Amino acid sequence: MKNYARVFKGNAFTSKSPTELHILKDYLFCINENGMIAKVVAPVDQDYQTILETNQDKLQCLREGQYFLPGFVDLHVHAPQWAQSGTALDIPLYDWLNTYTFPLEAKFSDLNFARKVYQDVVSTLLANGTTTALYFATVHKDASLLLAQICVEKGQRGLVGKVVMDNLDQTSEFYRDHDTQTALKETEDFILEVNELAKTTKQGVYPVVTPRFIPSCTDEALKGLGELAAKYDTYVQSHCSESDWEHEYVLSRFKKNDTFALRDFGLLRDKSVMAHCNFLNDDDAELFAETGTAVSHCPISNAYFANSVIPVAHLHSKGVDIGLGSDISGGFSPSLYDNARQAVISSRMLEDGVNSRLPAVERGVPHSRITINEAFYFATAGGGESLSLPIGRLAENFAWDVQIIDTTTATAKLPIFDNQEDLEDVFQKIMYLVRPENICEVWVQGEKVHSR
């Protein structure tokens, strides 16, 4: 019988497909030394009892009312903006960025301030069940590297980008890269330093080429960043067609949509994740599918700043990879539970329409709604597929990234009063009602990184 580092036993939920939930009742999850799921064993399997008996010293059993879920994958986090979360969400995006966000991000030249904020945001995301996060940092190389180091220390799988902003016409003197050459040189240095850090990191830490968005960058910077992404085979992240203002700016500057402009600079690739994408048309969607570029759907943030509801069901039907993002702090909540709930709500409003003065048949966009199963998929398996990493599923050869949910905790008890309640109904209660108090343990790559 094979020797395992750990064995876990309990009820679990994972995605079978984008629409189907896989319920694993009383399963065993056998974890190897690398923190990967080496074997998933059902109670009916021949070696189930033998594994139980021979791994008693390594066995962790969930008690009644506890469940395994995959760790969440947050595909869009502005880590420095955690310091302004919940602030000024009632003003337009352009004003919000220039009045609040850029002055705050400029403070991250102070590493002591950066450390305080970054330690707290990483811990907060872990406590909310987020085991992998794709981070925007700031223009400061040293502070960006510090964020990557904090992810390593706290055990979160972090993908971190040093932000590039070199366009004098669209950035303030107090917060931008010194010049284009400096921006590209510091990005390359950052890639090399994070790659070196990754050599000693079990769960993985990754550098990300990060033009903030097209308005903040010169053509020279965008071209240079595309070349760096190809040279080092790195991830790429940016904002794409987020709002009326940003979308129209790119059309005016390039006479084409964001997607084709980014493609022409070499920034759409299999490791690219673009946030928001509310104004993508079918040609844009086909280009995303063709290049393997993923969409980070940020439903709470979109409600405040995007000026529209993204047709996420339609984009997914066109073959575009989609995951969820919190977009701290354009999105006020660090919880992907909250964002999954809002994703469902927004999709139903898009399908049903919001203008009651119109006849029902004219009011909405047909076939736009998604279910909570689909939102769960986007938060887990969809995020893993968007990053091309073996994460987001409770299946063999995937990382043991899990959150253990306790539905019986005194401070946040879920309304489950029947031990025989259908497990699919229990899953829906978890997705709609869980609070951080219900997340009693979080594991990343086979290591416990949070507990209550």
For residue 10, which phi and psi values (nearest 5 degrees)? 165, -175
> Does pLDDT of 333 surpass 80?
yes
Mean pLDDT of 8-24: 98
Residue identified by tokens 């993923």 is 294
Mean pLDDT of 331-338: 97
Cα separations in angstroms, 399 against 153, 390, 393: 18, 6, 8
The token duo for 110 is 């102070």
Give the SS3 label for residue 1.
Answer: coil
CA 75 from chain center: how many Å?
2
The token duo for 10 is 């309990």
In which band, very low, low, confident or very high, does the pLDDT at 419 lie, cut at 50, 70 and 90?
confident
CATH of domain 72-387: 3.20.20.140
**For position 55, what pLDDT does the model report?**
94
Spatial separation of the C-alpha atoms in residues 349 and 311, rounded to whole Å: 11
Domain with CATH 3.20.20.140 in the chain: 72-387
The radius of gyration of the chain's CA atoms, rounded to the nearest angstrom, is 22
- Please list, in sequence order, all residues whose beta carbon lies within 8 angstroms of the beta carbon of residue 227, skipping any fewer than 6 positions away: 266
Residues 280 and 259 sit within 8 Å (Cβ to Cβ): yes
CA 116 from chain center: how many Å?
22
DSSP 139-155: S-HHHHHHHHHHHHHHT
Residues 431 and 379 sit within 8 Å (Cβ to Cβ): no
Domain with CATH 2.30.40.10 in the chain: 6-70+394-451
**For position 323, what pLDDT does the model report?**
98
- Please list, in sequence order, all residues whose beta carbon lies within 8 angstroms of the beta carbon of residue 425, skipping any fewer than 6 positions away: none
- Tens digits of residue pLDDT in 276-302: 999 999 999 999 999 999 999 999 999
Residues 258 and 240 sit within 8 Å (Cβ to Cβ): yes
Mean pLDDT of 264-285: 97
For residue 413, which phi and psi values (nearest 5 degrees)? -70, 135
Spatial separation of the C-alpha atoms in residues 217 and 183, rounded to whole Å: 10
**For position 17, what pLDDT does the model report?**
97
The token duo for 55 is 């791994």
Mean pLDDT of 316-326: 98
> Does pLDDT of 229 surpass 70?
yes
DSSP code, position 63: P
Count of beta carbons in the 10 Å neighbourhood of residue 100: 17
- Tens digits of residue pLDDT in 85-118: 999 898 988 889 889 999 999 999 999 999 999 9
**For position 93, what pLDDT does the model report?**
84
Cα separations in angstroms, 14 against 18, 40, 108, 276, 377: 10, 12, 38, 25, 8
CATH of domain 6-70+394-451: 2.30.40.10
Strand partners, 41: 28
- Tens digits of residue pLDDT in 19-65: 999 999 999 999 999 999 999 999 999 999 999 999 999 999 999 99
Spatial separation of the C-alpha atoms in residues 329 and 157, rounded to whole Å: 20
**For position 65, what pLDDT does the model report?**
96
**For position 1, what pLDDT does the model report?**
61
**For position 61, what pLDDT does the model report?**
98
- The enclosing H or E element of 159 equals strand 157-161
> Does pLDDT of 156 surpass 80?
yes
Give the SS3 label for residue 302.
Answer: helix
Spatial separation of the C-alpha atoms in residues 230 and 78, rounded to whole Å: 24
Mean pLDDT of 245-265: 94
> Does pLDDT of 418 surpass 90?
no
Listed in order, strand segments (DSSP E) in 71-146 are: 72-78, 130-136
> Which own/partner pairs from 251-255 qualify as long-range (CB within 8 Å, at least 24 positions apart)?
253/214, 254/214
Helices 141-154 and 180-198, interaxial angle, to 10°? Answer: 20
Spatial separation of the C-alpha atoms in residues 203 and 388, rounded to whole Å: 15
**For position 3, what pLDDT does the model report?**
82
Mean pLDDT of 395-411: 96
Mean pLDDT of 391-416: 96
pLDDT-above-70 percentage for the chain: 100
**For position 328, what pLDDT does the model report?**
96
Q: What is the overall mean pLDDT for the chain?
A: 96
Spatial separation of the C-alpha atoms in residues 428 and 159, rounded to whole Å: 30
**First and final C-alpha spacing in the chain:** 34
**For position 417, what pLDDT does the model report?**
87
**For position 92, what pLDDT does the model report?**
87
**For position 329, what pLDDT does the model report?**
94
Spatial separation of the C-alpha atoms in residues 133 and 156, rounded to whole Å: 8
Cα separations in angstroms, 95 against 92, 99, 162, 370: 5, 6, 23, 32
**For position 29, what pLDDT does the model report?**
98
